[in-house]
Every structure is written in C-alpha cells, then in structure tokens.
Structure 1
Amino acid sequence: MNIFRSLKLSLGTVACLATLGSSAQQINIPLKWLNGTPTKTTGVSWGIPWPQGQVKKSAQFALAKADGSTQAVQSWPLAYWPDGSIKWTGFAAVADSGAHDLSIKMIGTKDKTAANATLQITDDAQGVRINTGAMQCVLAKTGNTVMPSLVINGKSIATDGQLTCILQDKADAAADVESSPVRQKYLGEVSSVKVEQSGPLRAVVKVEGKFKAANGSRSLIPFILRFYFYAGVSNIRLIHTIVYDGDQFKDYIKGMGLTFNVPFREELQNRHVRFSGEDDGVWAEPVQPLNGRRPSPYLFDQAQGKRLPNVASVPTQKGLFDNMASWNDYKLTQNSADGFNIQKRTNGASSWLDVIGGKRATGLAFAGDASGGLALCLKNFWQSYPAALEINGTRTKQAKMSVWMWSPYADAMDLRHYDTTAHDLNVTYEDVQPGFSTPYGVGRTSEVMICPYAAMPTNQQLANDAAATNNTQLLVTTPQYLHQVGALGLWSLPDRSTKGKAWIEDQLDKALAFYQQEIDKREWYGFWNYGDVMHSYDASRHTWKYDIGGFAWDNTELSTDLWLWYSYLRSGRADIFKMAEAMTRHTSEVDCYHLGPMMGLGSRHNVNHWGDGSKEVRESQAILRRCFYYLTTDERTGDIMHDAAMHADSGLAHVDPLREILPKSKYPTHARFGPDWVGLVGNYMTEWERTGDVKWKNKILVGLNDFAKMPHGFYSGKGKDAGMGYDPATGHFYQLDQGDIGSLHLATLMGGMEMAYELTPILNNKDWNRLYLQYCSLYGAPLEDVQAAFGKEVKEPLGDPNGDYARQPGYAYVMTKDTKFAQRAWDYFLPKQPGRFGGGARFDTQILKGPMVVKPLQEIRNVSTNSTSQWCLNAIELLQMAGDQIPEHNFAWDGK
C-alpha cells in the first residue's frame, strides 16, 4: 500500500464511498440548521465536501424535505480534486419557515423550478437592479448613494442608502479639552460594482469604493460591500468591510455607519420606533404616545402598532392629538459590553430624555408606520462596542435611520501604538521598530441585515430578525459525514470508549468551557478586539498579560483558530462555531494587512493587534481560514485567501522574517521551511483547489524540488530557526551553508501539520512524501536515528520531544504503521509523572473573589493559549492517528 493510499484510508474515504454508493445518483447528505429552524422564509448558503472522483462538474442537486418532496438549489464549485472532480460544492437555497430534516440529493437532470425562480438581476450603466419577487432595490454604480431605493410591492420602504464616516484630527483625550478636534464628514463614494452571482436563487453584488470628504476632495479608507439576495426573500444581508489607510496620528474615526431615509405615509400617531434590547426583548413606542390625563380609546391598539384613525376622522379626539408631545429623535448607544442606554428628544432645541438602560442590546432598530418600514440589525452589536442605533426626523416626512459600527457618541478610534518606547525583545517578547507598529492596511468586517416591511411588524417578528442576524443562519452536515469524507484534515470524532480517551475528551471540554467563560468574564470584546483571546496569564495579578509586549492578544499564535475549528468539526456545536467564526473574522481582517507594502502578511501577538514588528505569513496563511470559507462559502474570506496567495511573497521581499536573527545574505530575503514556506504552500494549495489552475501546484513544486536536492531535506537550515536564503520572485530556496542542520519547531506549531494533512493526498509526490515523513519521524528522535538518516554525527536531538510535537510521530505512524511511532507520540503527549497537569486537572479552574480581584473570576494559574491550543490540537489529531495505540494505563486517568 503506497503512502498516498495509506493517508486516504486513514481519512475514512473508503467508508465514505461505501456510504455514498457506487453511483452518484445515490448521494443523499443529511443537513440540519446550525442554530435552529428559521421562523420565516430564509435564504441560506453553505458548503459540502465530496470524496475524490465522486462528483463531476455537471452534477445537479436538489434539496430534499422531510416529506420526501424536493426543491431547487443553486450550486457552484468551491474546490476541485486534482483529477478535476469536485471537492467542495457551494449551495444556496430558500427554506420555508420551520423547514427541518433536510438533505442534499443528487438528481439526474437540472431541476426546472430553479429556472422559474423569481430572482431577477438587471445590470446596466445606471446601476444594478434586483427583484427578488418579495422586494426590489437599486445599487448605484457611481456617486455617494450606494442603495438609492428599496421597494416592496411598489411601496418605497427606504431611500438614499449611504455609508458615512466622521473623521477628526486628534484623539478625544482629556489633555485636548482646550483644543477641540476638527471634524469632517465623509461619504462612501462608489468606484466599482460587480455582480458576482446572478441567481437563479442567490445573487451576490460586490460594491467597492472609498470615503470622500463631503465638502472636499480628499478620499481614504477603502470599503468593500457585498449584498446577498435570495429569490422570494425580502431581507438583504450586507457584509461591510473597511481597510484603514489613514495616518494614525491625524485620522481618528469618530463615527462609521450606514444610513437610510425611511419615508412615512401615516400621521404621527401611526408612526413607530423599535429597538431590540437584551435577549429577545424589544423596546417599542409610538412617535406620539396617546396616553394623557384622561383615558384614550386608542391606547392599547397604538402600543401594539395597530393603525389608528386619522385626526380628521375623529374630531372628538382632536384635543388629544393636538396636545400630546411627539418625539423626533431616538438613539441607543452601547459604549461598553455591559451597558446600553436609550434616549429620545422632541426636537433639536430640546434636551435628551433618558428612557431606559440595559446591559447587552442585540443591535436592531426599526422605524416605520402602519404602512411598513425598515429594520436594520448589526450582528454582534454589543460584542463590537462602541456601537449605536439612531433614528432622527420621525416628526418629518421621512426619518433618517443609522446603524453605527463605531458610535459617534463614544471616543474616537485611537489606533496609535500603546507606548512611545520600544520595549526589549528579550524581556517583553516585543519586537517594535520604526514604521512597523502601524494599522495602515488592517481591516474590519461587520455584518448588517436589512429588513424591509410592507406592514407594521410585531415585536416578535423583530426579535426573530435580531436572533437570525446574530445567530448565523447556516445549513450544516453531520460531523460523521465530514469525518468520513476526510474534509479539512485529520481530526477525530469524540470517543469515550476507554478510560484514557474519556479523560482526554474531558480535558478538551474543560478547555473550551474555560475560554468561553474567560471571553465573557475578562470581556475580550470591542470593535477591534472581538474574536481574539489573550496569549499568556499573569497569576501574580490574577489577570492576563494584556499590557505586556508580546504576551497580550494572541493573533493566531500556535493555531488557536484551528483548535476552535477542529473542535467544531468533531462536535457540530453552534456555540463553538460562533467562537471560531468570530475569531476567523477578527484574525483574517484585523491581524493582517490588506494593502500597502506589508499586504499579504500579518502581525504577531502584541498589546495592540498590529503593534509587533514581526510581520509574517504565519498570521495571514489560508490554512487558518479554510474551514470558515468552505463551510459558509463566504466570499470575503475567499478574497482574503486569494490575496494571501498573491501578495505574501512580495510581503516577504519587503519584510525579512529573520532580519533580527541572521545577517543579510546575497539572497533577496530569508525564509524557513516553517512557518514561512509551509504558510506559503497552504496559500498555493488553497488557490490550486479553488481554481484548478496547476500554476499554483507548480509554485509548491519549485520549493519542494529545492529541498529535495539538499542533504538534510527540510532540516537544511541554519540554527534553531532553520533560516535559508529565499527569492520571493522565483520561489527558490538556498541553503546558507551546506553543513547546516536546523531545528523546525515552528513548522509544526503554526499550522504546518494541518496543512500537510491536506496536501499529502492531493500532491501525491514522492519527494514530499519522503521529506515530510523524514521531518516527522526525526523530530525529537534518538540521536542514532538522526545520524543514520543523515550519515553524519549530530550532537543534540532535532527538537524538543514534548507534547506540542506529538502529532509528528503520530503522522509517521499513519504512514508506516510502525507502532514505535505511535508509542513515541503518546510518550510525547502524556505526562510521565504526577504534576500540575496530572489526575485530570489540566484545565481545572479555581474561583477568585473578594478583595483580591475586581469581580468574581476564575483562574488556571499556569495557563497560556499557546499550550492550550497545542495540547488540544494534539489530542484531537492523535486520537485519529494513533487512538488504537493509546496506553491502557496512565497516572493522569488512573489517579496514580
């Protein structure tokens, strides 16, 4: 059995083929809703993987319902196998409320109902017009009005959709009280509009541009919008991305938002405002509440949003209508993760009235009347504070409605580095150099649901809209199916069949629970922070090292993203998906550069996400994003992975990753087998899969052929970092000294192993197979093994044989079936004597309360996210690779 076949078998492909049957017509893949069945007709997109050779490009599918009937789906290839068959398919469908027990079914011919779908797209010089059958809107191709109109059944629901940015020239600091900032309004100016998908069930329109001064010519801060439309669905999903390209010392964002005008057709007493509050709560009031000194016959009908008679038709009530106060302006501000406040006022010459406050608002606002209106909902509203919702002009002919991703009622964004002094790398693990601690080129993505209504919605309908926005509407298949197909690498399903496996599963559960609680208790929230976790813990202060150089925000260090995604894949748990989704959104945008000379690279962990001078491929690599992309079909993530493949090499030419370690050589820059080259390979592999273009495979082979000619394979680098000469223009590697044998620990810890699991079976290259097996089998191996392999004496092992690297001999066991590697893997992974991680206590917490802490907290005194993510990844992967060789007895689970 060759190495390629061995790995495929280990992934469960043969079992999957038996499940699917020999004929593609027998494909029937079960689906479920990630966050519960929808409460109204819902458009949804998702991805499904296939075994190699089973699904052709011409394959047609349908969505099978619980009653046995089928409905049309839209499908497109997300990735290809090397033989040209489909590896991942993207699907879109429109599901009825309450739809459950669904499945994807292969059909012989194209489903005619797809061709009869109601979605229509017209693209001409004036703009893009979309008709879903349930609503109609226009997206402009020029100017500063992105969405000029939004209509239902001929009735205008919203107009003049614009992007707004307020810039000021200095920070809102106490020292500046006597010198107020100068502010200027900017509007999003459209430069290009592209229809990326045009139906029949799903349409995607990409809009790009920059913000331009409303009273000037300056432009900055590129934006990317994607609008998602589904046949028969009135809601519009909007993905909103900005990339900061300002001067961090002069361009402070005071407000960033999306605004619409909402026309009124009814008198004041029939106009209403709604804000979603905590959980499924809704704050609801009429613009003119008819509750005065004497009982009103309309009081309860009005509170429920029912249409009241016009003033002229009830002359006996004219005094009530004429004398009751009416309210013009409303706002909900969320300036922290734990506090929102609602205010309103009658007019601009009057004071704001405090209405009510709460803790965590879910981010929806509605303005309208008995004839309909508009709701806007910002996903992860309170988690991404400071945010705000604002409705102005409800006493006029039209209201102005704003959803603020950055609230203008909070301090302006301050993107400067946290200190003016560079701290020592050897003390604070912080590498700060002039010009590198910059936010220039970092991005941020937000999600808004645009919900038009042709009649006054109930509070329950609005609460449902808020829940659907905040809890990702996604169809997913089972962990068992994903595991059988071997999707996204080597990972295990939960298994408690033995005492040892049960102990490991307990630790995995405890680790996730701990970090979920820490995110909330330590409040790792905020516009630029939400999704990330901290790097290292300071037991002396009972806090994480949020203020100490390179020990603060994690920024993907040691593959935290992959730990969360593997945890989701094996469990199917929605709460883990939410953690992983938020982390991918954050780390792919905030921790990476999307324009400028460092485009294609990311920033290492630091107090500020972009603060460290280390800019490398390991943070921007596609392997960290693949799970989210393939499971959701998210186009923005696809762009990010493509940009990494296109620009990471040029980023390395600009920033030498080893400039602080190795002197400049005759080669353009330095790189290592890992994490640099394996990160690049992951980028190339992903583009090869997504496009089917072998030029990306050939880029892998250029470096591989260089390593194959070197005497020590992947170990042919200098020193503990295994540095080599590298030419980004050609992709060639050069050994700095023919005698070099280097250590390669970062090639494992930062996504290299997880990339290799996916590359090995599709590359099927004898040099790769030989060199990667050598890399895994020699890491931490006895000196005699290394000397036998290289034919020369070595004085110390190639790496530290500890638990972080246990999956390397595990991989060797998969490839060779030699049990010595399985034993070595478990020896690396499991503690050999009682200690702080013994007796099932690795992730046990202790409660902190009283005067030693500001509020009740929990603590694991020696915890670090590095060790947590690596321990969990090794556990998940080892159970798959060498679970059949796990020791029956160990003090950790035997308590001895």
Structure 2
Amino acid sequence: MTQGISRRRFIAASALASAALGGAAKSSSAATPARPLEHGFPEGAWCHWLDQRAPDIGVGVTWGMPWPRSKHSPKTTFSLRDRDGQRLPMQTWPLAFWPDGSLKWTAHALAPNVTSASSAFEVVPGEKSPAPAVAIKLKQDATAIDIDTGTIVCRVLRQGPVCIESIRRGDKELLRAGRLVVLRQDAPAEREDGVINQETFECEIEQAIVEHEGPLRAVVKITGRHAHANGRRWLPFTLRLYFYAGGHDVRVLHTFVFDGNESRDFIRGIGVRFEAPLTDPLHDRHVRFVGEGDGLFAEAVRGLTGLRRNPGAEARAAQIDGRAVTSIAANVEKGLDLIPAFGDWTLLQAGADSFQIRKRTAAGHAWLDSARGRRASGLGYIGGPGGGVAFGIQNFWQSHPAQIDIRDARTDRAAVTLWLWAPDARPMDLRFYHDGLGQDTHEKQLQGLNITYEDYEPGFGTPMGVARTSEMRLWLLESTPGRERLVQLAEAVRAPAVMAAVPQTIHRAGVFGGTFALPDRSTRQRARLEQQLDWLFEFYEQQRDQHGWYGFWNYGDVMHTYDPDRHTWRYDVGGYAWDNSELSTDIWLWLYFLRTGRADVYRFAEAMTRHTGEVDVHHLGRFAPLGSRHNVMHWGCSAKQLRISTALNRRYYYFLTADERVGDLLREQLEAARTLRAIVPERKLPKMQGRRKETPDGEHARLGFGTDWGSIAGAWLTEWERTRSRPMRDRLLASMRTIGAQPRGFFTGGGRMNLQTGAFEIATDRAINVSHLSAAFGLPEVCAELIQLLDVPKFKQAWLQYCILYNAPAEQQRAELGEPLGELNLQQGHSRLTAYAASILRDDELARRAWKEFFEGRAGFAPDQRFESQRISGPAVLNPVDEAAWVSTNEAAQWSLAVIQCLAFAPQGLQG
C-alpha cells in the first residue's frame, strides 16, 4: 500500500521525473531515422486533411502545429511538403511558447490553390517556404481597407452602415453593400391584443482593422452595434472577414451579444444582407438551393421549360444546365415578357427536419410553394453566365430556424439576406421559463434545488450578455456553376475543409501536459476500453439526432441526465437539462479527438466549443465574464461560475485552429475572478453567513483552489503561452507558491486571493476542506501542465498529496492528514489523479491502485456495465430511440477522462 509522501521521497522522485522529462525532450529534438507509426505517418511534424482526402473545393485553411520543448526558436522558418516531396507555399506565425522561449505552437496558413492531391503533409523546420505565385495585397486609408487576393478585390469600409462596399472579380462587381440587419419586435407572437411594433436595425461600424496580415492570409475585424433612426444602439457585433491568396471566396464569422430586455426585445430576424448586381437576361438568371446530400433545386428567374410553345431543345437544356441561352424559338422569344419572372425566393429551415422553398413574382403577390425537404445544406446561388454569388450558412439546419432570402432578382440588383435567425419563424424568445415559483429567499431556493436540482434566484436567469457566433461563406463566381460543382460548394459549407496536426505529432510534442496517449488495442483489456470509448462518443452523437439537440441557442450542447420513465432526457427538469460543460464534457471530447484524430469527433467538439464559449457565458453585464451552471435555459442558473466560462475548455480548439474569436474568449477570462467579489459562488450556503464579504471594487476575492483557481490559472497560462507575458507568469507563480504554502495544501480548499498579484493569503487554521467537484472541471489537466512548465516544488508536492490521498484508504488519509476525508464522491473519475501521481513518482503500486479504483466503479460506471442500448419504439415514445438509461453525462465525461488519463499516466498498472 502506498503511504504518504515524505519530503525525501518527494524530492528524489521529482528529480527522477524531471530528468526523465528532460531526457525525453532532448531525444525528441535529435535527428533520428524515420520509422513508421500508427496510421502510416513517419516521424516528423505531420498534418492532414481531417476527412482524409483533399477537398473538392479549394479553400484557404489555418491550423496549429505543436513542437517539443526547446526544439525550435521563434526565428525558425518552416516549409510544407506533401508525401511526394513537393514543397508548397505556406504562411507561418507563432501561436504559443514554452517557458524557455522556444516555440510550442505555430500557426500556418495554406492558400486554396493547392496543387497537391495528397491527404497528408509534413511541416519541415529549417526550410524557407517557397514564395506563392499570388500574394495578398492590402491598402488602407482613413475610410476603407482594400484586400486583393489576386482573384477578387474586397473593399471594407471603416464607418457607416455598410461593412463591405463591394467585391469585384476582374472588372466586374459581383457583390456590394454588405451589411448586418436585425428585425426587432416589442412583444412575442402570441400577444393577445395583436398589436406588435416592429423595427429594423442596421449595423453601425465603430472600428474596422486588419487583425492579421500576411502573404497568404488576411483577417479584417469589424466591430460595432446595430442602430435605428430613433437613436437606439444595441446588440454589439464582431464581424471577421477571412481572405486567402488566390481565393475567390470570403469566410465570414459573425458574433453578436444580446444586451436587450428579454421581456421587450424579441429578435424576429438577424442576418447578413448584400446586393448582387445582375446584368444577364431574366431567362439567364439562375437561382440555386442545395438541399440534403446532393439534392439540388435549380430554376431560373424566367423559366423557359414547360411552356405551351417550345423555345427549342438547346434553349431548354442551356437554362437547365445554367449556361447562356444563345437562341430561342421566335414564337417564344417575342412573347418573353408574357412569361412571369419570379424575383423573390426563400429557403426556410424552420426546424431540424423540414425545409421549404417558395417563390413569388414580387411583393404584393402570392407565394408559390416550390419544393420541400428535410435538411437543407444552407447553400444558395444567384447569378448567370456573366457571374454570380454563391453563399452559405454553416450548420444551417442544425442551428434552425435559418433562412435565405433572394429579393428583386428581376431587377438589376438582387438583395440576398442570410438569416441566422429566420424572420418567417417565431421570434426569438429569451425569457425565463417559469415565474420563480415563489422562491424569493435563499432558503426556498435551496429547497427548490433539492427538488429539481435547479439553482434559481430572481434576476439571475437573464440572457443579458450571452453571445452567438455563426459562420458563413461567400464565393464570387465567373458564371453559374454546374450542378456537381454546386453540390461540392454545399459540402464545403456543411463540412469545411480542416487541416489538423496528426495525433502522433501532437503526442510527441508533449503539449497539454501529457494527458492523453495514442490508442493501444494490443491486449484484450485495452481493446475493450478503446471500444467503450468509441461506443460512448457514438452514443452521444446518436442521441443528439434522435432527441433533437439542435437549434440556434442549443446546437453544440448535450443533455445532462436521462429520464427512463418518459424515455427522454430531462429537458424540462431544472438542473438536469442542458449540460453546460458540467464535469468537463468539453475536455473529454477534445482529449478523445487528440488521441484519435477522428473528423466526426472534431466537429462534435468544435460545435460544443462554439456553443459553451458563447451561449453559456455572460460576455457583458453584471455577471460577465462568468458562465452559467446547467439548466433548462442555458443562462438560467443562478450559479454564475468560472468553472463554466473556463479557458480550459477552449484552449484545445484555439491551439488546433488559431481561431481569432476563440482567442477573444480566452483573453476575456483573464480578470474573471474580479466578478467573484460581487457574485459569490457559495453565497446561499449557511457557512457563508457571518463570513467577511469582499468589496465589489476591492483587490481581493475568495477562490476555491479547484473550480475557481483551476479556471483562472488556465486563462493566465494560456495568455502567458500566447504572449510570454511576465505579469501572467508572475501571477501563476504567486498563486502556486501560496497554495503550496497552505497548512493543508489543496486540502485547505480555497483562500483569499490578491487579484493583482495572484497570491493567496495563508490560512491560519489547519481545517480540511475537500470537495468532489474541485478536480472535476479541468484542475487535473491544468496542474499537469503547470507542473510541466514551472518549477514550484511545494505546489507540486501539494498536488501530488491531493492526488494520492483523495481515493486512499481512510487509514492512509488519517496517517497523512490526522483524520480521514469521510464520504467523497466521483471516485472513479478521481482514479486519474492516482494515475498522475504514479507517473510523476514512477510508482507501479500507485499505477495498479489507479486501475483498481477505476474498475471498482464507485460513483461511475460499474465494472460489469455492458456498453449497449435498447431500442424503444411506439407507443412508448413518439419516435423510436436507442436508450441507455445507465448513461449520464457526468459519469460519461468523468469515466472517459479517467480511461484516457489512466492509459496515459499509468499504462503499466493495467493487467490483461
């Protein structure tokens, strides 16, 4: 049995571990012969197309590459080679640094005109990238920014209601007057008196800057608010436009923050609008919408097919194919003006499983139902043989209600609106879902928490400050694309091309604290665990579809707990509904992706990162920048906490993609602890009565060492890595040293922290304070990284003590602490802490203990649990579902993290 850590044993083991880490770093940086690894990648820094093949539509991509410690200086140059040895132009910039200043992550950009058909590439250090055939050119003045990709030229304005003045391809203007639009009404749709006032807001630019500039990639960031003639300005927005050398497309990232009154401000529509100049004859103006799969709706503004008189086979075929009609039979040509021209078109995805297309000649006339389907791709097109614009909304049906409008296509200037919230659907209703049920005191609220697990408090269930980010893409085309090409464009919207570092490269670099290992199916037991990990992810993917975890404010999240009586997840029961990152669901998915490289896992985790970082966090207002605990409404819980807004959930995606918006979210958390002065997490508990309260503008706040400090340490760590900020490093060191100096280390529970320095006051008593949640929200992951990066022996000793003793027998806890820890929870999930201690101390006995704890299954999945579901059909349910009532998301996340990290830290302890 492993006993407590003596100082001598700790120092000796730490020295051994440090030497081993140092040796590993040195060996990884030495030149070694290439040898095959899993998935056929030789040694080196490899990346690949996530979908294992070159995309059909060339688009520019940006991705991150990790590097072992001390291997490359910031001055290192990099080039890109495909598997045939061909060198490709690539742009590189630093993304993060190791403590010694060497590169930890680099970001890279690849232009869309890649000539290689390879699915994998090697990023080669020490070589200069070849010059691109075409480079981006930027010109700026006080009024505008001009971006020339070599194929298109976009002019972005710095003030006013128009963001994009024009986009030209060659000498032809294909898009103009790009702007944002919001439709607001002052009452919900069911107002009894029927009197609803409506207003239209357009964007008002406050700033437009070039956020990133290079030969292959440029990013323009536009910020402002939506404004009305009555003087009201609300809904802050950030619009990012991405350009790549040689590209004829623009990636658009749209973010808005809700800052209205949810009882009076009902958003009826929010979107992006632009004009498309049209010069082709009406019968050569083509409208396209891509439906599900390769389904395509293709018509013309003025149709030539189905007429009583035949315009000619070639004329009909040309219009159907999207080519210019060169001749029309005389008896039809002279009557063209008698054929109705349809100027207005709408694609509406009102729900996840139904869309409709309709058209009309003009306002004031009836709509015709044109087509319907299940799940539209979100891609449309307007134009003709002389040029046009294809436009798409990513996650179109998943983020319903969504809509695409084309208006006035029979004039010389069509208007296109990409509605992120469809105006033809019910208006957005962000009000809380109940009236408070009389819970007007903390005592009543705690009673309610005991019944429905909902932590309610008046005024806290507000959407003030929640945000939403959406992605769109615009293609400026010389002519109407063929049918197959349109379907390929739609696929580029549905599943955008992603370049990603391969798992072997990420693992060898030693990033993320070594918290994952590559899959190993070499023994029966290991193969079984890998199979169960796969099953669990695929089950949640299936549940998302069967239970409809979709919608503008919901897509990306999963549910918390299941209701086997109703055969559904508890979508309407207090704190059992939306998960909101509870117990590190995000980290589970990202570590699972890092070890597998699966495209479906990446896209699931990406959607979760977008959602949990935006919707579950207050970005302005009294609760900013804290997140909201799990609830029926994503923002409904009165527990506003760092554990939900934590940067730890976002940093994986940031380093894999260099995404600027997620970079904003990470930086937003740097001073988050200041909000805890006024919004005290434990304010309702009896133990808080009589405790000294911090002043809202003071320099101190009380933080728990687990969910609070682990979260803020993750933000400081990320900023230090990104910028080499000494103040951030100093805060980390101060907090680590003062945690290590506490009389009970991590078992002290928390303390009063100086917000400027990061140092905690040293507790004056030796009381033990331990919570099962402390290490359930990213604390193990951030401590693994901090111990890897910063030499603070007492902190390391305190963390190892916590890791060893949490699951230890009562007599061992008593011997080390003077008393046992009592009844704790989440023992199975905490087995990964034991495994981490085993790794650092090189202790095989601890490694075996970790797996024993895991397989005992306390507060987790039982050791004999069969990973399977059963089919439930009508009339027990409305629609058939696959049910695994034994699964809860808390247990799924903690079980998965335990498997992944026990395999990483204590593989030698797994028998069989």
Cα gap change, 1:177/1:273 in structure 2, threshold over 3 Å: closer, same or farther?
Answer: farther
CA distance in 2: counterparts of 1:102 and 1:459, whole angstroms: 29
Q: Which residue of structure 1 lines up, in the alignment, with residue 578 of structure 2? A: 553
Q: Which residue of structure 1 lines up, in the alignment, with residue 841 of structure 2? A: 816
Indicate the SS of the match to 2:803: helix
Cα gap change, 1:835/1:236 in structure 2, threshold over 3 Å: closer, same or farther?
Answer: closer
Cα gap change, 1:81/1:21 in structure 2, threshold over 3 Å: closer, same or farther?
Answer: farther
Is it true that 1:861 corresponds to 2:885 in the alignment?
A: yes
Per-residue deviation, 1:794: 1.0
CA deviations over 1:64-88 (Å, ceiling 9, x no partner) = 1343221221111110000000000
CA distance in 2: counterparts of 1:469 and 1:317, whole angstroms: 39
Cα gap change, 1:241/1:310 in structure 2, threshold over 3 Å: closer, same or farther?
Answer: farther
Q: CA RMSD in A?
A: 2.2
CA deviations over 1:652-703 (Å, ceiling 9, x no partner) = 1221111112225235243211111111111111111011112111112222
5+ long unaligned stretches in structure 2:
1-11, 35-41, 440-444, 695-700
CA distance in 1: counterparts of 2:860 and 2:906, whole angstroms: 25
Of the three residues 131, 139, 146, the one matched with 1:113 is 131
Q: Which residue of structure 1 lines up, in the alignment, with residue 384 of structure 2? A: 369
- 2:689 maps to amino acid: P
Per-residue deviation, 1:713: 0.8
Of the three residues 523, 531, 543, the one matched with 1:506 is 531
- 1:711 maps to amino acid: P
Is it true that 1:338 corresponds to 2:353 in the alignment?
A: yes
CA distance in 1: counterparts of 2:857 and 2:346, whole angstroms: 60
CA distance in 1: counterparts of 2:412 and 2:911, whole angstroms: 75
Q: Which residue of structure 2 lines up, in the alignment, with residue 309 of structure 1? A: 326
Q: Which residue of structure 1 lines up, in the alignment, with residue 713 of structure 2? A: 681
- 1:823 maps to amino acid: R
Is it true that 1:268 corresponds to 2:282 in the alignment?
A: yes
CA distance in 1: counterparts of 2:47 and 2:732, whole angstroms: 36
Is it true that 1:383 corresponds to 2:383 in the alignment?
A: no
Q: TM-score, normalised by structure 1?
A: 0.94
Q: 1:449-848 maps to which residues of 2 (within 5 A)?
A: 449-489=473-513, 490-645=515-670, 647-661=671-685, 662-663=688-689, 665-666=691-692, 668=694, 669-717=701-749, 723-734=750-761, 738-790=765-817, 793-797=818-822, 799-800=824-825, 802-831=827-856, 837-839=862-864, 841=866, 843-848=867-872
CA distance in 1: counterparts of 2:424 and 2:858, whole angstroms: 56
Cα gap change, 1:177/1:119 in structure 2, threshold over 3 Å: closer, same or farther?
Answer: same
CA distance in 2: counterparts of 1:834 and 1:119, whole angstroms: 56
- Structure 2 contact 359–369 (Cα < 8 Å) conserved: yes
Per-residue deviation, 1:504: 1.1
Cα gap change, 1:385/1:664 in structure 2, threshold over 3 Å: closer, same or farther?
Answer: farther
CA deviations over 1:457-497 (Å, ceiling 9, x no partner) = 11222221221122131212221221121222311211111
- Structure 1 contact 670–726 (Cα < 8 Å) conserved: yes
CA distance in 2: counterparts of 1:563 and 1:164, whole angstroms: 38
- Structure 2 contact 733–792 (Cα < 8 Å) conserved: no
Q: 1:277-292 maps to which residues of 2 (within 5 A)?
A: 277-291=291-305, 292=307
Q: TM-score, normalised by structure 2?
A: 0.92
Per-residue deviation, 1:832: 7.1
Indicate the SS of the match to 1:342: strand
Cα gap change, 1:190/1:282 in structure 2, threshold over 3 Å: closer, same or farther?
Answer: same
Instruction: Identify which range, 667-676 or 633-642, moves more after superposition.
Output: 667-676
- 2:731 maps to amino acid: K
Alignment: residue pair count = 870
CA deviations over 1:265-303 (Å, ceiling 9, x no partner) = 111111110111111222110111112013221111111
Q: 1:869-884 maps to which residues of 2 (within 5 A)?
A: 869-884=893-908
Indicate the SS of the match to 1:745: coil
Per-residue deviation, 1:359: 0.4
CA distance in 2: counterparts of 1:45 and 1:118, whole angstroms: 16
Q: Which residue of structure 2 lines up, in the alignment, with residue 352 of structure 1? A: 367
Q: Which residue of structure 2 lines up, in the alignment, with residue 232 of structure 1? A: 246
Q: 1:54-203 maps to which residues of 2 (within 5 A)?
A: 54-95=71-112, 96=114, 99-106=117-124, 108=126, 110-111=128-129, 113-114=131-132, 117-173=134-190, 176-203=191-218
- Structure 2 contact 861–895 (Cα < 8 Å) conserved: no
Cα gap change, 1:221/1:324 in structure 2, threshold over 3 Å: closer, same or farther?
Answer: same
CA deviations over 1:591-639 (Å, ceiling 9, x no partner) = 0111122222100000000000000111111111111111111010011
Cα gap change, 1:543/1:134 in structure 2, threshold over 3 Å: closer, same or farther?
Answer: same
Is it true that 1:413 corresponds to 2:445 in the alignment?
A: no
Per-residue deviation, 1:734: 3.9
CA distance in 1: counterparts of 2:690 and 2:755, whole angstroms: 15
CA distance in 2: counterparts of 1:327 and 1:832, whole angstroms: 64
- Structure 1 contact 715–775 (Cα < 8 Å) conserved: yes
CA deviations over 1:521-550 (Å, ceiling 9, x no partner) = 001000000000000111111111111111
- Structure 2 contact 49–499 (Cα < 8 Å) conserved: yes
Indicate the SS of the match to 2:210: strand
Per-residue deviation, 1:10: 7.0
Instruction: Identify which range, 6-15 or 215-224, moves more after superposition.
Output: 6-15
| Percent identity between the two aligned chains | 38
- Structure 2 contact 82–116 (Cα < 8 Å) conserved: no
Cα gap change, 1:51/1:266 in structure 2, threshold over 3 Å: closer, same or farther?
Answer: same
- Structure 1 contact 665–725 (Cα < 8 Å) conserved: no
CA distance in 2: counterparts of 1:598 and 1:257, whole angstroms: 27
- 1:848 maps to amino acid: I
Per-residue deviation, 1:429: 1.6
CA distance in 2: counterparts of 1:562 and 1:245, whole angstroms: 29
CA deviations over 1:428-470 (Å, ceiling 9, x no partner) = 1211112211111111000000111111211222221221122
Q: Which residue of structure 2 lines up, in the alignment, with residue 891 of structure 1? A: none
CA distance in 1: counterparts of 2:785 and 2:496, whole angstroms: 27
- Structure 1 contact 781–798 (Cα < 8 Å) conserved: no
CA distance in 2: counterparts of 1:875 and 1:302, whole angstroms: 58
Is it true that 1:33 corresponds to 2:45 in the alignment?
A: no
CA distance in 1: counterparts of 2:663 and 2:690, whole angstroms: 35
Cα gap change, 1:19/1:345 in structure 2, threshold over 3 Å: closer, same or farther?
Answer: farther
CA distance in 2: counterparts of 1:310 and 1:716, whole angstroms: 86
Q: Which residue of structure 2 lines up, in the alignment, with residue 400 of structure 1? A: 415
- Structure 1 contact 146–162 (Cα < 8 Å) conserved: yes
CA distance in 2: counterparts of 1:10 and 1:83, whole angstroms: 15
Per-residue deviation, 1:834: 15
Is it true that 1:6 corresponds to 2:17 in the alignment?
A: yes
Indicate the SS of the match to 1:347: coil
CA distance in 2: counterparts of 1:795 and 1:143, whole angstroms: 66
CA distance in 2: counterparts of 1:106 and 1:664, whole angstroms: 61
Is it true that 1:299 corresponds to 2:316 in the alignment?
A: yes
- Structure 1 contact 10–814 (Cα < 8 Å) conserved: no
Instruction: Identify which range, 597-606 or 728-737, moves more after superposition.
Output: 728-737
Cα gap change, 1:412/1:98 in structure 2, threshold over 3 Å: closer, same or farther?
Answer: farther
Q: Which residue of structure 2 lines up, in the alignment, with residue 892 of structure 1? A: none
Instruction: Identify which range, 103-112 or 692-701, moves more after superposition.
Output: 103-112
CA deviations over 1:491-532 (Å, ceiling 9, x no partner) = 121111112112211211110111010000001000000000
CA distance in 2: counterparts of 1:469 and 1:5, whole angstroms: 51
